[in-house]
Structure 1
């Protein structure tokens, strides 16, 4: 119906380990990384409109063609020819430039919502095929399943690796450039520890000794607060802490809720955007008509 308003949530991710294996001739990098979800989310409202328009409540986020939401709309329109124009309103909560996948998550949800609203009948695999130029994390967010991503991030082996512990994630109010992070990272084609085995077989309190994000070596010297924040997570009582993706956000994994809550409150008091995610969290991937 023309007057329907559709709502859905777009979730953030964190990387559980990230191995940069080689620099490819294309300029991309071959990686392997574990991907799981946070409760940190953006909220979408979509309705038919006289023209395509994107409104975001955070004025620091551009709404022009550089925004992945607009790129996703253009990609789908080019592929199938959309029947209507839409107003996208986004309540933006996931920080940009944080390594949390907010842009890719937004692009994936845009494709999924238009696929449902316009009754296009495209499968997840078809959406992934047409989204390959939008971002390496987009296929993960289309599938909505945790797993190990390989290649340039498009090849995902679905495994339940969502930690059954509390996750506290903090953005240090400094954005990290993904190209810069990879530019200054030395690839290692032969990591010391097998990522899949570590995530599925090792106890989580062993992770700090064997599970690495290779991009920390290039980001922490440039964004000191991220490195300091990782140390702070351990001081708060985390059993494992790491930067996510190309940064600059850092997360800590906590066994006990009161320890996680103390860390969460402490970071909020320092005026850092912070999220706490429940053990075994599963995102709601539903797309709903607003009552």
Structure 2
């Protein structure tokens, strides 16, 4: 059996710059990792199988793990077949990239177990039709996302501070979030400039997520959690991606832990990420 973890992400700001003729949007955003992760166990089998701990998640062709498996099988080929067992901890529809992270790890698993020898860029080419966040998870480094979010410029933007993530308990629709957002091709500040040049205590004034207002208009609880995160003492708080997760960045450990525990006691799913966190991208053989 082979094992590995599939980590989530948050977006540090998100500018919606332009709606393209294809219906997609040109954006600018910062990607960094959080410790919230799903657990993969993979074994050889006679045919492809997928089991997921969360029963509400489909395991057929709608699942990004299955889509990634089929893409690899079609374009690269498989000498053997594999069974995937996934313990889901990252909430779905939460703006944390759980499905995209799962797809990226599926590509990486098959590349390793099949000794295919594909580069990250080749794996990214396989993934482009499946999801905009997948290239970030294949690369495995924080960075600035542009274009559709698929063009990643590696950048040292993983916060050297504590990150508290709170899931409000419901999904947020990505298409609806973009549909209700008016693109702004000339924002006052570039996300790249803010993340690379400004101190954390300035982010609250300069770093914005354009999808936040339309989503909070539909889901007031997201705005309430953000306000509470600020009251708990976060240096910066925002919604991640198209929601629904809200995160706060804290410079002091005891302040972050107090916020985490307070939300947890209220019944929210919560996660705490350490300063300078680096995900373990190893795929390990378990006896």
Which interval holds the TM-score relative to the shorter structure?
Answer: over 0.9
The answer to whether the 8 A contact 1:144-1:285 is kept is yes
- Determine the structure 1 residue equivalent to 2:15: 19
Distance (Å, rounded) in 1 between the aligned partners of 2:213 and 2:255: 28
Q: Residue 56 of structure 1: which of 38, 44, 52 is its match? A: 52
Shift of 1:264: 0.3
- Determine the structure 1 residue equivalent to 2:259: 263
- Determine the structure 1 residue equivalent to 2:198: 202
- Determine the structure 1 residue equivalent to 2:41: 45
For normalisation by structure 2, the TM-score amounts to: 0.99
Write the deviation string for residues 66-122 of structure 1: whole angstroms up to 9, x where unpaired.
000000000000001111111100010000010000000000000000100111111
In the TM superposition, structure 1's runs of 4+ consecutive aligned residues that sit over 6 Å from their partners are none
Name whichever of 49-58 and 70-79 sits farther off.
49-58
Distance (Å, rounded) in 1 between the aligned partners of 2:232 and 2:47: 49
Distance (Å, rounded) in 1 between the aligned partners of 2:179 and 2:192: 26
The answer to whether the 8 A contact 1:29-1:152 is kept is yes
Q: What does 1:74-93 align with in structure 2 at a 5 Å threshold?
A: 74-93=70-89
Q: Gapped runs of 5+ residues in structure 2?
A: none
Q: Residue 274 of structure 1: which of 239, 253, 270 is its match? A: 270
The answer to whether the 8 A contact 1:234-1:252 is kept is yes
Distance (Å, rounded) in 2 between the aligned partners of 1:103 and 1:15: 15
3-state secondary structure, aligned to 1:209: helix
3-state secondary structure, aligned to 1:246: coil
The answer to whether the 8 A contact 1:72-1:110 is kept is yes
- Determine the structure 2 residue equivalent to 1:193: 189
Q: What does 1:275-290 align with in structure 2 at a 5 Å threshold?
A: 275-290=271-286
Shift of 1:54: 0.4
The answer to whether the 8 A contact 1:166-1:279 is kept is yes
Distance (Å, rounded) in 2 between the aligned partners of 1:269 and 1:217: 27
Distance (Å, rounded) in 2 between the aligned partners of 1:47 and 1:177: 34
Distance (Å, rounded) in 2 between the aligned partners of 1:105 and 1:233: 26
Write the deviation string for residues 258-285 of structure 1: whole angstroms up to 9, x where unpaired.
0000000011111111000000000000
Shift of 1:65: 0.8
3-state secondary structure, aligned to 1:220: helix
1:240 corresponds to 2:236:
yes
1:171 corresponds to 2:167:
yes
- Determine the structure 2 residue equivalent to 1:7: 3
The answer to whether the 8 A contact 1:174-1:223 is kept is no
Q: Gapped runs of 5+ residues in structure 1?
A: none
1:124 corresponds to 2:129:
no
The answer to whether the 8 A contact 1:237-1:259 is kept is yes
3-state secondary structure, aligned to 1:221: helix
Distance (Å, rounded) in 1 between the aligned partners of 2:166 and 2:230: 13
Q: CA RMSD in A?
A: 0.6
Q: Report the number of matched residues.
A: 287
Write the deviation string for residues 167-220 of structure 1: whole angstroms up to 9, x where unpaired.
000100010010011000000000111211110111111111110000001100
Shift of 1:56: 0.5
- Determine the structure 2 residue equivalent to 1:66: 62
1:95 corresponds to 2:91:
yes
Shift of 1:154: 1.1
Shift of 1:50: 1.8
1:30 corresponds to 2:26:
yes
- Determine the structure 2 residue equivalent to 1:213: 209
